[in-house]
Each structure stands twice: as structure tokens, then as C-alpha cells.
Structure 1
């Protein structure tokens, strides 16, 4: 693949997240997508004592390595996100009903999102990093949650917090402390810096 700046190194995004793909594309980064088939649940079990930040980075590394092992010539970007709330980790909701209940529990309270990223080449991680955002939810009504969940439908299950800040989900919050891109699932500024350092992007 030839990037718009004339270089020819290939960047592969090892994530099926449309939000991450949009962030990179909007920033002018050329890439292909190859979803990494990693057992996230097994990693979470193995790292039960790890911090949410460490887990986000480990998941990102696992994704990058899974693709890099059979695409050694490419730069592979893995990314993942964890949500810490009330002393534990929150995973994606298994149903729309579960998503509603989770949002109801989190309203009026604060949780943190940790977005990890890792860049691999030749089957080895060459860089990794993590950024954190603090999310303060407002005290929403049941009626608003009903309307929000109905608007999102099944798509709500694809988001770790059962919300998308780039849509109606913005109204769930009183304030957000941290970077917008981190909330969407990628610490974009550090990633762009590393891609320039590695020569994937022009300086």
C-alpha cells in the first residue's frame, strides 16, 4: 500500500473498531484492517491481579502480536480499552437489558476508561502506551435511559461502557476529564508520535 506522503510501509490496524478506524483515517493515516483473533477472556483471567491500565496494554499487545506474527513486514497497531468502576472492571454488556442496568448503576457516579495501544513489527512489540480519561456521569432519568438504549439498539453491546460519546451518549455525562480520542478507544496523539518516529508517517 502506498501512503499519501509517498512512503510504502504498510500499517495494519489489528482491531475491528469502527471508531478507531475513523480516528486514524480522519488523521490522514493510511492503513488496512485485520481483526486479531485473541482470547480476551483468557488474558483477563491470567491477569486477574493486574491494574486496569496494565490489562489495557496487555490486550493491545496481544492483538498487535497476533497479526504481526503472520504479517512480519508490516507495522501492526493493536488497541484495547478497559473500564474501571466501583473497584472492578466492566466488560461489554451481554444484552440490551444488561446495558440499561449498567448505565443505571453508573449514573451520578464516576468511572475511568483506560485506552492502551501497541505497535509491533516482525513479531515483537516495539512500543506500547496507555492513556486514561475520567468520566463523570450525570443523574439521568429512567426515561432518558429508555430513549437512549432504544436509539442505540444492539449496537450498544459493542461498547465497553454501553455508550458512544460521539453520539447521543454525550448527554449521559456531566463532564469528562481527559482526551476525547482516549474516550473513543485510542490514545491517538502518542500513537501518531510513534508512527512518525518509526517512519510510518512523515515528519
Structure 2
């Protein structure tokens, strides 16, 4: 639960923690060239009965941030905790991470030629105030109508079994897609950086100042 390495305040910047075990989110946050640490939030990610995909994503993003913040030592310096969660849905059904080749193939077969909505929720918790800024960024993805052999070949090449929707748009998975519609191009990968940088700047985090 505690961060993997301290992200101490530097030159007036609050510490920054990414509440996630996802390597994809970590790689995206590294693009901002700012110091941060990561911590794995211990929460139950099961959707609740009757919960909409947007509500599930927003709730889990907030719970991840709060779980990590609650584990910080008493009296810790001001820290900004980033929580994020993604839920894919079509035909009113939520689509989770497949986990296996067989489930991934079933996902891709059911989605070919169809439009899928990806809800990428983001929460930024400020431990100095307890306030959380949250947003749900929706990405519309239309899959190509490809034969089983092509879908199977893709899965064996990239093994995207830890990705909701069973395709990595930042890799070979882009060949499975006809169109992507989103206000934030990194949202589909798992961490909406346009929304995140807006939140960080609003929280007074000096993203664009010279760093020593």
C-alpha cells in the first residue's frame, strides 16, 4: 500500500503518488517528467449491482486514491494522489480484462464491427485539504470486422490479456480499429494526461517551470 519509493517535496512541489499497479499508467505519467512514486491500492474492484459504467469507473478511481492516501504516515507532507480506473462497455455490458487468450478472443469476436465505449476515470486527491477532483473521459472506439484468424494472430503477437477490450491501441492493436473518438488521446491507454495536467495545474503543481 505504501509508495514504492518516497516522492519527497522538491522546490515547493507536493509529493505525487500514482495509486496504481499498471505499467501503462506509470509509463504515461513518466511523459510529464515529474518525480512520483507508485502504490498499489488494496480495494475491491467488483462493479456494484445496477451501477453504470461511468459510476463504476469514477467510484474506483476515487477509492484507489483514498486508499493510498489513508495509508500515508500521520503528519506526512502535502501529497497529491492520482487514482484512475477504466471500464469498457457495449450493448450495456461492462467488459473487463480478459486474463486469458480464450476470453480475449471471445471479447474481440463479440466487438468486431461494433462501437465500444471506454470510460477512463481520473481522481486527484489533495491530502492537505481532503478534496478530490474527478472526471470521466469517454473514448468511442469502432472495431474492424476481422476474421477469427486475424484476431487470433493479433492476440498471440501482443498478448493484451491485461487490457480491457483485449487490444492495445498504442501497439499492434491499432490494426483492429477503424476509428477512435476522444478529447484526450491518452485516455484509451489508461491515464488521461490532458485532464490530469489540468488538475495538477489547478492544484498549484508547477508542471512547466524549470526543474533543477
**TM-score scaled by length of structure 2:** 0.86
Structure 1 residue 149 corresponds to structure 2 residue 151? no
Structure 1 residue 24 corresponds to structure 2 residue 19? no
Q: Which runs of 5+ in 1 are unaligned?
A: none
Which residue number corresponds to residue 192 of structure 2?
187
Q: Which moved more, 1:131-140 or 1:86-95?
A: 86-95
Q: 1:165 aligns with which of 162, 165, 169?
A: 169
Structure 1 residue 13 corresponds to structure 2 residue 18? yes
Q: Which runs of 5+ in 2 are unaligned?
A: 1-6
Aligned-pair Cα RMSD in Å = 1.8
Equivalent pairs, count? 196
Q: What are the residue-to-residue correspondences of 1:1-203 with 2, within 5 Å?
A: 1=7, 6-41=11-46, 44-45=47-48, 48-71=49-72, 73=77, 74-122=79-127, 124-153=130-159, 156-178=160-182, 179-202=184-207
Contact kept, 8 Å, 1:112 with 1:134, in 2: the verdict is yes
Q: Residue 2 and residue 8 in structure 1: after superposition, are their counterparts in 2 closer, same or farther (change >3 A)?
A: farther
Contact kept, 8 Å, 1:64 with 1:125, in 2: the verdict is no
Contact kept, 8 Å, 2:20 with 2:83, in 1: the verdict is yes
Q: 2:30 & 2:11 partners in 1: Cα distance?
A: 16
Q: 2:199 & 2:155 partners in 1: Cα distance?
A: 37
Contact kept, 8 Å, 2:34 with 2:207, in 1: the verdict is no
